Amino acid sequence: MRILITNDDGVYSPGIAALANVAATFGDVRIVAPDVEQSSASHAITATRPIRLKKVVIGNFDAYRVNGTPADCVALGTHTWGNVDLVLSGINLGPNLGNAVWHSGTLAAAKQAALLRMRGIAFSTPISEIKEPNFARLEPYIRKVLELLLKDKTMCLVNVNLPEKPKGIRWTRLAVGQYDGKVVADKDPMGRAIFWFTVKPLNDEVEGTDRWAVANRWVSVTPLRLDLTAEKDLARALSYPEVPAMTPATRRKTTARARKKVQNRRLGPE
Ligand code: MN
């Protein structure tokens, strides 16, 4: 099995080496990650300038840095290596819980894998100001999660958050009831106004959510999907008289007409 490893903290983050160490017991590993930190870069791709792969030394791993985003690294890493089965992203130094999935570069790398029809799994863990996470303590749980997920081939996109001292694993849903982003106003040394986009602590974790799991020392494993369609809203909207719903019959006719149009264009004088 070919496993591509990436992250959003940058190729030299200790979290990526910890993840690669576990992954190496499951298959062939290659690290392709951003050259500098890309936390909160979400799913941006670099479309206005070229990007490059450059060899770096990360233990004994085959490793490269890219002057791009986490999503770039997955696209480039899988394109150049080929036949990648699995993309692992992390271990992010900081949690990615609830609505943080909208901002997370760690999860975006896993999403990019899912878009390219591979499997993507993101790993994150909280950090304290003073010390690095104890990766040795997390490794057996990462191994267990991988064993679980590799058995179930239908889960293509999964978000995993590991508490500092795990006591077990729980399947969870996203805690989307609250948002922790906030803007803090301050002054620069010249007295001019500046603003920091930062987070505020949340409480009231709903049982069964990712935030609840990590707060209670469970490893949170959340299966996700790419289709953001609001099914209930769409079902209701389809009954509105103002906009006629496309019936399967009309859709077939439209598609046939569109196909003919394209064919005619191909046969045309140009
Ligand atoms: Mn990060």
Asked if 214 contacts 97 with a C-beta cutoff of 8 angstroms, the reply is yes
Residue 144 Cα, ligand 1 centroid: separation in angstroms?
Answer: 23
What pLDDT is recorded for position 262? 56
175-202 confidence digits (pLDDT tens): 999 999 999 999 999 999 999 999 999 9
d(CA 141, CA 23): 12
Residue 258 Cα, ligand 1 centroid: separation in angstroms?
Answer: 45
Domain spans in the chain, listed from the N-terminal domain onward = 2-173+206-228, 233-267
Residue 96 Cα, ligand 1 centroid: separation in angstroms?
Answer: 9
What pLDDT is recorded for position 129? 77
Residue 99 Cα, ligand 1 centroid: separation in angstroms?
Answer: 15
Quote the pTM value: 0.90
89-106 confidence digits (pLDDT tens): 999 999 999 999 999 999
* CA nearest to 91, candidates 56, 136, 57, 48: 136
What pLDDT is recorded for position 250? 58
Fold of 2-173+206-228: Stationary-phase Survival Protein Sure Homolog; Chain: A, (3.40.1210)
Please tell me the total number of residues recorded for the chain in this structure: 270
Residue 253 Cα, ligand 1 centroid: separation in angstroms?
Answer: 48
Average pLDDT over residues 102-116: 98
Residue 121 Cα, ligand 1 centroid: separation in angstroms?
Answer: 15
Reported as a pLDDT band with limits 50, 70 and 90, residue 161 is very high
Reported as a pLDDT band with limits 50, 70 and 90, residue 86 is very high
What pLDDT is recorded for position 257? 67
What pLDDT is recorded for position 269? 44
Query: Residue 141 pLDDT more than 80?
Result: yes
% the chain with pLDDT above 90: 85
242 or 78, which is more confident? 78
